[in-house]
Amino acid sequence: MSKRCNRNMRHIISFTFFILLATSAFSQNITRDEYIRQWQLLAIEEMNRSGIPASITMAQGCLESGNGNSELSRKSNNHFGIKCKSSWKGKKVYYDDDRRNECFRSYRSVEDSYIDHSNFLMENPRYASLFLLDPTDYKGWAKGLKKAGYATAHDYDKRLIRIIEENKLHRLDKKMTFSPMGGQTAHNVLDTDKTGALTIKAFNSHKVSKINRVKAVVAQKGDTYEILAQELGLKDWELYKFNDQPPGHRPIPNEVVYIQYKKNKTSKNQLTHRAQEGETMHYISQLYGVKLNPLYRRNNMKKGEQPRLGQVIYLRKKKK
């Protein structure tokens, strides 16, 4: 084969390889719908903790991270474009934004980014008035974030409202989520039965996920602890212990079932929970992956006692 043919062949191979790389990179992009389905539970969980509407958190995540495709979100898990500020003690990365080489926060996980976003709004006085709004007033929150200067875009509030309404994210504010298969159907994502068991919408058949760094699965119709234990290589008595349930308890469909011991306390970013109507201590225990008895002791409550509406439940440190 001539040298010219060799050169042409190398050019073709190189060009083909480039196309394959470009196609691969493009195919890995996350759609907005996929992003919402992946992180909607986390937005609802943060709403329970902070009072920030899940629709606002979700819309900001979509907008600020480019649906999880931006370089800042992919490489540094920063989904809300939060800059370092003088108070930030964690890892830092630098990107050109309003000015060249600006400092942005870098996180170990997407979960840490969502938690820090809530903390950032809760701890900053300029956002304090937003927490006086009705928790379903996403328009008020969007306008308030723009007015407080969260972003420099002149139409920042309109962008958030558009994302919320086009994707029906206001459902999340009522603890509703979207079926991963149907796309148009909403289901209860967090609910309690008469025993106070936490339930969520199952996305995959016994897919293992983590809450507070504790492995858990979601029960399906017909499941028992015996069936789950056999499938997961555990003993049924272990599941009763892991979930603070009495012998004979049968999980209802979509109930969270921990498959290892829950933690004694939450992470440093989750200190308290404000009880809502109908919530039990067991529900809060399952919601945060915290053992029930230490939760009672931490809040100076007797076993079996239930929280009052609006009561602050201490998740990490003992109530004074």
Local confidence pLDDT in tens for the 320 residues of the chain: 444 444 444 443 343 344 334 433 434 688 998 899 888 888 888 888 888 999 999 999 999 999 999 999 999 999 999 989 878 888 999 987 667 888 999 998 888 999 999 999 998 999 999 999 988 899 999 999 999 999 888 999 999 999 999 999 998 888 765 543 222 223 333 444 444 555 443 333 577 888 888 998 888 877 888 888 877 888 889 999 999 999 888 888 888 899 999 999 998 888 999 988 888 999 999 999 999 999 999 999 999 999 999 999 999 988 77
CB 256 within 8 A of CB 200: yes
Among 301, 196, 285, 211, smallest CA distance to 241 is for: 285
What are the backbone angles phi and psi of residue 209, rounded to the nearest 5°?
-125, 180
Reading the block at residue 76, the tokens are: 């540094």
Measure the CA–CA gap between 93 and 130, rounded to whole angstroms.
29
- Domains along the chain with CATH numbers: 32-174 (1.10.530.10), 190-320 (no CATH)
- Per-residue pLDDT of 83-125, as tens digits, reads 898 788 889 999 876 678 889 999 988 889 999 999 999 989 9
Measure the CA–CA gap between 183 and 71, rounded to whole angstroms.
28
User: Is residue 67 helix, strand or coil?
Assistant: coil
Q: What is the pTM of this model?
A: 0.53
Burial class (CB in 10 A: 0-12, 13-18, 19+), 240: middle
CB 289 within 8 A of CB 263: yes
- Per-residue pLDDT of 166-195, as tens digits, reads 999 998 888 765 543 222 223 333 444 444
